[in-house]
Amino acid sequence: MTVKAMDAKQVTKKVLNKEELFILDVRNEADFADWKIEGDNFEYLNIPYFDLLDGVEGIMDKIPTDKDILVVCAKEGSSIMVAEMLSEEGLDVSYLKGGMKAWSEHLEPVKVGDLTDGGELYQFVRIGKGCLSYMVVSNGEAAIIDSTRMTDVYTDFAKGMGVTIKHVFDTHLHADHISGGRTIAEQTGATYWLPPKDAEEVTFEYEALEGGTDVKIGNTTINIHALYSPGHTIGSTSFVIDEKFLLSGDILFIDSIGRPDLAGKAEDWVADLRESLYKRYRELSEDLVVLPAHFMIIEELNDDGSVSEKLGTLFAQNHGLNIKDEDEFRKIVTENLPPQPNAYQEIRETNMGKINPNEDEKREMEIGPNRCAVR
């Protein structure tokens, strides 16, 4: 039988459609335990490639014959070899094209809503990494928020829509992934906006993203609400778009809240985080649709693949918004933290313009799950 390649977009479709898939992951056990492809109806078997060098006969009884089978490794090469061995045993099997590196970089655009004057809002779901970025399209113009380093996806999408990118925003200085904001601004001549409290060490020019600023995109207005709090940073800034959508950055997620420790100042910033979530957000309309900069678990995806929820629903259901005792809140957000993101210091320095790693180095820095939230 022929070994087929399955690309990240095809796997994403299986995730969103809740299809069955059997994944044989041939990376080492620690890498698999740290980060894997997630799907509601996926089954997994982790056998390191080196344990299969003598053949796959010993694992044939563990592999189903009635499901799609996908072999996964870090970069693709090992999975092709294992898939070929399984094929020789009579199984119909695919391998993940580009491996987990390709999975980490895939962006799936999803329309999340229409704007009042004919515009549209799109969410770009980085399904393997949990990053969420956005494009506002209105009357021939576009704005991009929290873009990843895969900048071609946004510029090609804008080109396909026939719109000009006028503004690029980062809600904060990212610590878990490399921003594409500055690159897009340089390529398109767009204005690049950053919160000044996060930009004190950056080496490039930017426009100050401050509260009370209104930015027009075509017929659509983006209202800047400077909710200074440590989603990761002291400058974290939220946007309200078209009086309908709240882009919360890394302050508020669907099932959790932002971690305040990535600049080593959890104790200092926890009060800011509480004030933003428990006071400033409470002053906003509960009908606003919250669009965060990350999702944590695959269950947070809606049926259409988007990640969103009304602010009022989150006030009712998000545990991080319902901790009445301030001391308990402080304890939870300073002690109940996952491991820090892979290479987060180097990522921050890259986003400041202090270092300029090559493409392979950037890829390596970003490998692994996102860890932006308090658990």
The DSSP-derived string for 259-294 is: ---TTS-HHHHHHHHHHIIIIIGGGS-TTSEEEESB
Please give the pLDDT value at position 162: 97
Cα–Cα distance list, 325 to 255, 322, 331, 373 (Å): 19, 9, 10, 20
pLDDT tier, 76 (very low <50, low <70, confident <90, very high otherwise): very high
Q: Which two tokens stand for residue 181?
A: 């904001």
Asked if pLDDT for residue 110 goes beyond 80, the answer is yes
Please give the pLDDT value at position 100: 95
Q: What is the pLDDT of residues 280-318, one digit of tens each?
A: 999 999 999 999 999 988 889 999 999 999 999 999 999
Q: What is the pLDDT of residues 329-345, one digit of tens each?
A: 888 887 767 776 668 88
**Longest distance between any two alpha carbons in the chain, whole Å:** 65
By the 8 A CB rule, do 117 and 147 touch? no
Q: Which helix (H) or strand (E) holds 249?
A: strand 245-249
The one-letter amino acid at 228? Y
Asked if pLDDT for residue 266 goes beyond 70, the answer is no
Please give the pLDDT value at position 343: 82
- As beta bridge partners, residue 4 has 94
Q: Tokens 């989150």 map to which residue? A: 314
Count of C-beta atoms within a 10 Å radius of residue 58: 11
Mean pLDDT of 139-154: 97
- Report how far residue 89's alpha carbon sits from residue 216's, in angstroms, rounded to the nearest whole number: 60
Mean pLDDT of 59-86: 95
Please give the pLDDT value at position 245: 96
Q: Residue 252's closest CA among 161, 159, 190, 315?
A: 315
Q: How high does pLDDT run on average in the chain?
A: 91
Class of domain 4-102: alpha beta
Domain ranges of the chain: 4-102, 107-366
Asked if pLDDT for residue 264 goes beyond 80, the answer is no
Count of C-beta atoms within a 10 Å radius of residue 266: 18
The answer to whether the 4-102 and 107-366 domains have the same CATH topology is no
The one-letter amino acid at 297? I
- Report how far residue 20's alpha carbon sits from residue 15's, in angstroms, rounded to the nearest whole number: 9
The residues annotated with a catalytic role in the active site are 73
**CATH number assigned to the domain covering 107-366:** 3.60.15.10
